Structure 1
Amino acid sequence: MSNAVYLIFGATGDLARRKLFPAFYALYRERKLGDRFAVIGLARRPRTNEQFREDLYESIQEFARYNVTKDEQWSSFAEHFEYMSLDINNIEGFRQLSELTGTLDAKFEIGGNRLYYLALAPELFGSVSHNLQAGGMLEAGGWHRLVIEKPFGYDLPSAEKLNAEIRQVFDESDIYRIDHYLGKEMVQNINVVRFANAFFEPLWNHKYISNIQITLSETVGVEDRGGYYDRSGALRDMGQNHMLQMLAVMAMEPPSRMHPEDIRDEKVKVFRSLRGFQSAAEVRANTVRGQYISGTMKGKPVPGYREEESVNPESTTETYFAARVFVDNFRWAGVPFYIRTGKRLPVKTTEVVVEFKNVPNNVYLSRKHKLEPNLLVFRVNPMEGIYFKMNAKQPGSEGAIIPVAMDFCQSCQVGLNTPEAYERLLYDAARGDSTYFTRWDEVALAWKYVDKIASAWGERTEDLHLYGAGTWGPERGSQLLAEDGFRWWPVNGQDEGEVAWEFTQV
């Protein structure tokens, strides 16, 4: 990992506390982060270095993968962290920050490298970028990289404006747009399974796959994000980034080289091949927008979305989004990709299900048996793993056929302490590896696709489908698949009819 000064804007916020500081500690414990680094926490709130380091310790103690105690190792780690109160609209403050950065650079022999992490509201990205330049922060030798969180804009015009502001200061090659799902172990494992196994890639096309299902479900409501979420909704908060990015990983062609730009080029080709919507009627036929009402979660009553704090009591913002998506190229012609995401669903999970075409009817075993299709499932979160479902003879029976699964549970392995997504992404950004960050053309094409949906939804608020908290969303979400002769496969062994599979683990 390169030597650098890491400047964390929004250092007193929830993201820094839950993800970034624990990530720094894990990288340090694994010796991926050496001794030639410094971290400057930046926020408006007054804080001494001692108070900041105490906050740092509490954050790591609560959220890090490694246990921490206040010993010599902790002292060596904590001395690299300093805090500065900063008004991001004050140029003089940035000049003082430049002096502090230079001091720490000299102290730890860093060599001028800077990584600016903006854990801030998107509308501040442009002004902070310009003030970094005006305050002399970009004049030091070494590289300068900007890491920014989603959402990147609210729609395509706002994203274009935001990108133009940032590009006046930073080159595209120095901008690292985080989609933390791309840092997850099993999302990165998808391409390994595809491209490192000779028996999968020949089957990875419309001749053998009937459909692909991507589910990202949450059990929580909007919590303390009601004000933000009511302006965003599931489509913009999850659909435009996480859902479409996972779809692109599943659908992309093998890159010609293991180079970040070649890999991202292939994802862009997928986005360019997405079948657009020509009318509002097409949008309504292929998408579902839902909003949860009061219901029961784990035996306890929970309020409806419109009853949540900071939410408009008459809000039509969607908390559930599902869509039937087509990638119009030779590999995927005619294969539907079904995506869904929602809040207050029964199970918290992220899964990708590849359903293969079934054997022909009335041929050999299918004459007497109702054979289930083969499934390849990537479990991304919270349990990580892969399983393959196939048909086999039931032991001891007179020819009965049952579905069995070969199940690889990565999370079950003894001693495995899987790195968090932010650890990988911080590590990659410091090394200059942009593979798992989103490029501007990816962002723009995703917004172009999503904006058509949002525009059509805005014309007819009566298309909002209500669903009870604790259910799998509106009935229309199931009808979307039923129209094509499919159904949502169980998530973590639980489907909409509460029917669990009986699997034999191998």
Structure 2
Amino acid sequence: MVSEIKTLVTFFGATGDLAKRMLYPSVFNLYKKGYLQNNFAIVGTSRQELSTEEYQEMVRQSIQAGITDQDQAEAFIEHFSYNASDVTEAAGYAGLRETIEAAAKKFGVEGNRIFYMSVAPRFFGTIAQYLKSEGLLADKGFNRLMIEKPFGSSYATAEKLQNELENAFEDDQLYRIDHFLGKEMVLNIAPLRFGNPLIANAWNKDYIKNIQVTLAETLGVEERAGYYDTAGALLDMIQNHAMQIVGWLAMEEPASFSDKDIRAAKNAAFSALKIYDEAEVNRYFVRGQYGANGEYAAYNKEPDVPADSKNNTYIAGELQFDMPRWQGVPFYVRSGKRMTTKTTRIDVVFKAGTFAMGAQQEPQETVLSIIVSPEAGIQMSLNAKDVTDTFSTHLINLDWKPTAQEAAETPAPYERMIHDAMDGDGSNFADWHGVATAWKFTDAISDVYAADKAPLEIYPAGSMGPEAADELLAKNGDNWILK
């Protein structure tokens, strides 16, 4: 039996695309499951002038696909209020405070306030400080701030933002969203690692040859050239999503499964991550850019992309952790646009056994694959005897996928993350130490690329990236599991 979470959530950017596509349906799912019942309120705010009734109609349209009981939906929508505000001016917060206090009184929510910032990053620090100075924080219960990425555009800008936020909130009140951490199969890393002695005891340099994280996209830059040409795959995907996944893979077993101990274990691993100099960036990282291929235009021919752009639409690299568990084990990451397939996956490559099967071949390397998206699943290969009359071995595959019912019941990432923030569980959010380390690591690479001191490999659109990325692994006797 679920218990009700008494919370008042204020959505900044309440009329935006993310709110309509993801946030309101996620909150509605929490309501249908009983986590929200009577004592909750949702307040929306943005620059757009709307009445509460018009806002409620927008929410009604947003959740339409999830409605199975119209009366239930209407009861849910009644908990929504709206106030238009200019978040850059102190005066804009007076009306918002009144709307929040009226909603809290109407629905019996004493304290327990979450402020969700689905706005441009340049407003994060401003809003946080005005929330405090203009009296919007609750005196009772908790105050929590949920922040969309990107958290800065470099270590220096991230540190500046962190300092601004800490003028109004403690760090444990900050919930930095990386929706990849809310994906079901990313959450499966921990139980697979720590819940199976067979795997737990082999999760180290003695048995693992390398670990690979792939985040591949088939789409090109689309209409995001203004942002993407300043970020590229390195900052858009590696600095946040890939690094946070790697944190789960590299960390030691936490003292407990509390968010505090999980973060401590991740932070210990991040502290052991080697940060590269210029020569090492060129040795351990490959930057690429997609070129033309039949129906697809080259990146530098896309609308609004400068013709002389050397932006990376593809990144592949090797991470190294200076810790006893991982000495000599490369962690490979790659991400790119216009690739052969759309997928996010983790491939853990185990060393081949040394036992010779008579006069026949020795066992091969085996792989544990965690398929995160678009379809979830877990695969593992094992050495077994083939069916011939000789004692030869071959690889067999174990394959699991969630049933249709399990897939339907799986919480969407935003639903899970809003629920976790209501519960005060920070396990699946990025903390400052991890964010700072990721920025220091990627800044060292960005500096080399900004100075154009690394090759830019052109790969055909629709491929799995440049040949240099294959050569990167081949130097260690490795190869990408997903070809």
Normalized against structure 2, the TM-score is what? Answer: 0.95
Correspondence 1:23 to 2:17: no
Q: Hey, what's the Cα distance between the residues in 1 that align with 2:407 and 2:216?
A: 28
Conservation of the 8 A alpha-carbon contact between 2:215 and 2:343: yes
Q: CA deviation at 1:192?
A: 0.7
Equivalent runs, 1:56-95 vs 2, <5 Å: 56-62=59-65, 67-69=66-68, 71-95=70-94
Which string of whole-angstrom CA distances, capped at 9 and with x for unpartnered residues, describes residues 371-401 of structure 1? 4311111111111111110122234665453
Equivalent runs, 1:256-267 vs 2, <5 Å: 256-267=255-266
Match of 1:329 among 297, 302, 323: 323
Equivalent runs, 1:208-227 vs 2, <5 Å: 208-227=207-226
Whichever residue aligns with residue 468 of structure 1, its letter is: P
Q: Report what 1:440 is aligned to.
A: 432
Judged with a 3 Å threshold, the aligned counterparts in structure 2 of structure 1 residues 105 and 413 are, in CA distance, closer, same or farther, namely closer
Q: Report what 1:499 is aligned to.
A: none
Which string of whole-angstrom CA distances, capped at 9 and with x for unpartnered residues, describes residues 330-363 of structure 1? 1000000110011111111111011100022xx5
Judged with a 3 Å threshold, the aligned counterparts in structure 2 of structure 1 residues 139 and 209 are, in CA distance, closer, same or farther, namely closer
Judged with a 3 Å threshold, the aligned counterparts in structure 2 of structure 1 residues 80 and 377 are, in CA distance, closer, same or farther, namely same
Q: Hey, what's the Cα distance between the residues in 1 that align with 2:466 and 2:77?
A: 49
Count of residues in Structure 1 that have an aligned counterpart in Structure 2: 480
Q: Report what 1:498 is aligned to.
A: none
Equivalent runs, 1:185-334 vs 2, <5 Å: 185-277=184-276, 279-296=277-294, 301-334=295-328
Correspondence 1:390 to 2:390: no
Q: Hey, what's the Cα distance between the residues in 1 that align with 2:472 and 2:359?
A: 29
Which string of whole-angstrom CA distances, capped at 9 and with x for unpartnered residues, describes residues 444-475 of structure 1? 11111111111122222561111111100111
Q: Secondary structure of the residue that 2:459 maps to in structure 1? A: strand
Q: CA deviation at 1:258?
A: 2.0
Q: Hey, what's the Cα distance between the residues in 2 that align with 1:242 and 1:373?
A: 27
Q: Hey, what's the Cα distance between the residues in 1 that align with 2:318 and 2:123?
A: 34
Q: Report what 1:449 is aligned to.
A: 441
Q: Hey, what's the Cα distance between the residues in 2 that align with 1:415 and 1:35?
A: 28
Q: Secondary structure of the residue that 1:203 maps to in structure 2? A: coil
Q: Secondary structure of the residue that 1:389 maps to in structure 2? A: strand
Correspondence 1:345 to 2:336: no
Q: Report what 2:416 is aligned to.
A: 424
Q: Percent identity, please.
A: 39
Unpaired segments of 5 or more residues in structure 1?
Answer: 496-506
Q: Hey, what's the Cα distance between the residues in 1 that align with 2:173 and 2:436?
A: 18
Conservation of the 8 A alpha-carbon contact between 1:384 and 1:411: no
Q: CA deviation at 1:270?
A: 0.8
Q: Hey, what's the Cα distance between the residues in 1 that align with 2:359 and 2:60?
A: 65
Q: Which deviates the most, 330-339 or 440-449?
A: 440-449
Q: Hey, what's the Cα distance between the residues in 1 that align with 2:13 and 2:479?
A: 43
Conservation of the 8 A alpha-carbon contact between 1:383 and 1:411: no
Equivalent runs, 1:367-378 vs 2, <5 Å: 367-369=359-361, 371-378=363-370
Q: Report what 2:11 is aligned to.
A: 8
Judged with a 3 Å threshold, the aligned counterparts in structure 2 of structure 1 residues 124 and 380 are, in CA distance, closer, same or farther, namely same
Q: Hey, what's the Cα distance between the residues in 1 that align with 2:358 and 2:140?
A: 69
Normalized against structure 1, the TM-score is what? Answer: 0.91
Equivalent runs, 1:46-65 vs 2, <5 Å: 46-62=49-65
Aligned Cα RMSD in Å?
Answer: 1.8
Q: CA deviation at 1:324?
A: 0.7
Q: CA deviation at 1:143?
A: 1.4
Conservation of the 8 A alpha-carbon contact between 1:385 and 1:411: no
Judged with a 3 Å threshold, the aligned counterparts in structure 2 of structure 1 residues 227 and 397 are, in CA distance, closer, same or farther, namely farther
Q: Hey, what's the Cα distance between the residues in 2 that align with 1:174 and 1:33?
A: 21
Whichever residue aligns with residue 375 of structure 1, its letter is: V
Q: Hey, what's the Cα distance between the residues in 1 that align with 2:444 and 2:271?
A: 14
